[in-house]
Chain A
């Protein structure tokens, strides 16, 4: 089997230092909406300067290089055992090269492993066998500050007056945005899962964040709710960094899951503006980065 360690290292470098264009464009548009001279506008301007510098220097966009989350989709013939070894080797190398901060801390002993390699769960790697002959590896770096403000609601939620329907989902998500203020490095992107259980809700609410900004759910009802939530979250005026301002949320992505009759969860994963996610595709001899 081909050794992809070097190519995966490049994927990590790009993910950590080169913010995807779709995110950058939204941030640029957001600057124009803020009042000249305001703290909100200053924050966005600094963010954009930082994006440019990190790209130029191959240095981390944010020092919190987060939890590395890999999604590997492979056709028959690849060994997941080997791929896992290669991913781990690339990550340790990326840490040595300062593309990544040593970010894996043993929760019991409090020791930082120094190389981003923890137990089986760190980095998080999801493998899925697929048809066809292309291997893809997607990487997302999910920072701790925004991960901490993720929230799960078990519906109905009486405090919010929110029931087990899309109107209730809306209220839960708006509440989560209000609570996240100041902590998740706004402007952010919302990943929302409706249904599932405690575990799958969080996993799927992150998975939707791999999608492009502006990609809408094929169900028109959910697509409309995605747009409504982005608009209403911005009406709250929390603004970049929580300084007050027009842009609090850049985009919202919703996925509907199956649930058992007794449970109805709404899960919100909050992604900060440092929305680092990249993909590599192995097609024959070629390796393509998006």
Chain B
């Protein structure tokens, strides 16, 4: 298993190939549906004017995301009342919901890695080639196990989106993932879908 530290350089990204197991280390953020929609509308397409703390959060996120990683995750967090946050359960959520947004978010912030489950589509695969970046697949449902690799919660933004949808800034140690979409246009998901699709066609004619 290859150990990689965030921020990740373009050279390291280009070395990564589909199927590579990786242990991730460093600071990343969680972000899922509400966050991606908010980023696109407020800062990328600018269809909505920044409100409240939007601009301050944007400035705080930029350095974390440059060369950084977004984790599609809606965690269970303890210590909500005392603000001594701790990740209790933190597996990946289904990534394909961010397909309309992901490539633009990657390019805008120079995000090098997206962690999730289920893989993403052609738009993100192209985004991975252009940024460049990769898609890391975490083990869906392995929530307690993954939470153990979250060593610290450094902060939280947009808690008003709700605990699962907020932007949690976390430090991880040896978070286990597999590269399933690389910066060379390869996608394990595409391959498996095609292969299994052929078997399905055979089965349907039986």
Contact = CB atoms under 8 A, between A and B. Distances in A.
The answer on A and B forming one complex is: yes
Interface string B66-92: 000000011111100000000011110
Nearest to A273: B141
B155 interface: no
A63 B178 contact: no
Interface in B105-164: 117-119, 137, 139-148, 162-164
Contacts of A57: 144
A166 to B, nearest CB: 13
Interface string B29-42: 00000100000000
Name the prevailing secondary structure of the B interface residues. mixed
Interface centre among B88, B148, B188 (most CB of A within 10 A): B88
Interface stretch (B6-14, B56-64, B189-197): B189-197
Name the prevailing secondary structure of the A interface residues. loop
B30 to A, nearest CB: 10
Contacts of B19: 39
Contacts of B185: none
Contacts of B196: 178, 181, 236-238
Given A62-B91, A101-B74, A102-B163, A243 B145 contact: no
Contacts, number: 169
Interface stretch (A5-13, A41-49, A199-207, A258-266): A41-49
Contacts of B144: 50, 53-54, 57, 59-61
B49 interface: no
Interface residues of B, number: 49
Contacts of B88: 59-60, 63, 98
A47 B76 contact: no
Contact of A63 (B90, B96, B176, B191): B90
Contacts of A148: 94
Contacts of B96: 182-183
Contacts of A193: none
Contacts of A112: 162-165
A63 B143 contact: yes
Contacts of A42: 21, 139, 176, 178
Nearest to A274: B141
Interface string A174-188: 110010011101000
A171 B204 contact: yes
Interface residues of A, number: 54
Interface in A237-288: 237-239, 241-244, 272-274
B75 A174 contact: no
A243 B163 contact: no
B141 A181 contact: no
A286 B58 CA distance: 56
Interface string B180-206: 100000001101110111011001100
B102 interface: no
A66 to B, nearest CB: 11
A111 B19 CA distance: 39
B192 A63 contact: no
B164 A46 contact: no
A47 B74 contact: no
Contacts of B142: 46-47, 49-50, 62
B89 A60 contact: yes
B145 A46 contact: yes
B196 to A, nearest CB: 4
B82 to A, nearest CB: 13
A183 B94 contact: yes
A75 interface: no
Nearest to A103: B164
A161 B200 CA distance: 13
B141 A272 contact: yes
Contacts of A102: 162-164
A185 B117 contact: yes
B119 A182 contact: yes
A178 B192 contact: no
Given A50-B141, A60-B89, A181-B192, A98 B78 contact: yes
B189 A182 contact: yes
- What 3 A-B pairs come out closest when comparing CB atoms? A112-B162, A50-B145, A182-B118
14 contacts: A43-B178, A49-B145, A50-B143, A60-B88, A63-B147, A64-B91, A65-B76, A110-B34, A144-B94, A145-B118, A148-B94, A178-B197, A241-B140, A243-B188
